[in-house]
Amino acid sequence: MTRKARLGFLGAGWWATANYMPLLAARDDVELVAVCRLGATELHRVKEHFGFRFATESAAELVAYPGLDGVVVTSPHTLHYEHARLALEHGLHVMCDKPMCTRADHARELVRLAREKQRHLLVPYGWHYKPFVQTAKEWLDAARLGTVQFALCHMASPIRDLLQGKRFVTEGNSGQAGGVLFQPDPKTWADPVVAGGGYAHAQLSHSTGLLCWLTGLMPESVVAFMSSPEAQVDLYDAISVRFVGGAIGTVSGAGTVPPGGITAFQVDIRLFGSEGMLLLDCERARLELRRHDGTSDSVALPAEAGAYSCEGPPANFVELILGKTTCNYSPGEAAMRSVLLVDAAYRSAASGRVEAVN
């Protein structure tokens, strides 16, 4: 008999029910066991739709349910730390949606706790699982760029209405894997108390997580400007970073891309090192390495190669739990570095000063 990963969910809103749950339910090595969310009617709907054995509005009850192997955390951003910590303390593997959390000390604590408990901590950054992105990781791990000295990291997304708190209706199969049980709740995006912030938490965490995973850079100090046209949370982010070891970089974000197109999201990372430069662009599907010794390398890519999808992280999580792989392509360590950077950026935007990460 095939061993199954027995999973629980802490949070069951739009993205969880339209993407992660359908993807995991389709696997023959997964059992969806327990689910937790607020709202008795909505909770019952999720339980019946996906066949969960147990449903509760209590996070403590969920992590204590017998026999669970792991938990997927998809609650609002400001609850990620509380829920991920609760699961790790109960000895459960955790896949925690991005941002992993919203505070630097919380991010460090989750990584420390995962190590102490010897549990997998994975953050579902979908672009990490693109073959051409993994090729870039291989090149950087092989030191083909030499020492990274400057990094440019840009991301832009079509989520203006969400960040402004307007009604946002997803189209048919916008969850990529399944239909839509629930529409996005504007509060979890546009309310600064519930969301903890705006574009930097909601989206820029993708590109900063990718940057930190590819390079291994650790942010040291940050200065940032943010603006919020017709919104209570940031729509635009302009960030300068100094990294441990002397590298510097710029990180930018914009939440106002008009919808439509093959790739609605812009993710552009340009790295300059002692041996050359690496260009990684998901919108225009490009990967190129040019070196000072005159050599170069590139990957031929179809136009849609960089379009966002999130099948990879749930599959990776299950395979880690079942021992089918030991490679975590979107580890908590990279997510922690992203949180350190973004947390310092929010503090800098508020203070008007350069803010130290530590």
* CATH for 61: 3.40.50.720
Instruction: Tell me how far apart the alpha carbons of residues 126 and 16 are, in angstroms, rounded to a whole number.
Output: 14
CATH number of residue 224's parent domain? 3.30.360.10
**Are residues 176 and 290 located together in one domain of the fold?**
yes
Element (H, E) at 241: strand 236-243
pLDDT of residue 11: 97
Q: What does the DSSP 8-state code read for residue 307?
A: -
- 3-state percent helix, strand, coil for the chain, nearest multiple of 5: 35, 25, 40
Residue 120 counted as domain residue: yes
User: What residue numbers bound the domain in which 239 lies?
Assistant: 127-307+337-356
Residues 158 and 76 in one domain: no
Residues 22 and 153 occupy one common structural domain: no
| pLDDT value at residue 274 | 98
Q: Are residues 229 and 351 in the same domain?
A: yes
- Asked whether residue 208 falls in the same domain as residue 256, the answer is yes
Q: In 3-state terms, what secondary structure has residue 269? A: strand
Helix (H, G, I), strand (E, B) or coil at 224: strand
Q: Is this prediction's pTM over 0.85?
A: yes
Q: Looking at the structure, do residues 139 and 247 belong to the same domain, yes or no?
A: yes
Residue 331 lies in a domain: no
Which positions of the chain have pLDDT values less than 50? 172-173
Number of independent structural domains in the chain: 2
Q: Is residue 290 part of a domain?
A: yes
Whether 183 and 261 map to the same domain: the answer is yes
Strand partners, 276: 273, 291
- 65 and 45 together in one domain: yes
Residue 298 and residue 149 share a domain: yes
Task: Determine what percent of the chain is predicted with pLDDT higher than 90.
Answer: 91
pLDDT reported for residue 176: 67
Is the residue at 332 inside a domain?
A: no
So what's the pLDDT on residue 169?
61
Q: Are 59 and 10 in contact (CB under 8 A)?
A: yes
Residues 94 and 52 in one domain: yes
**pLDDT reported for residue 173:** 47
pLDDT value for 119: 98
175 and 196 part of one domain: yes
Residue 70 near residue 34, CB atoms below 8 Å: no
Same domain, 144 and 263: yes
Short-list 158, 152, 150, CA closest to 268: 152
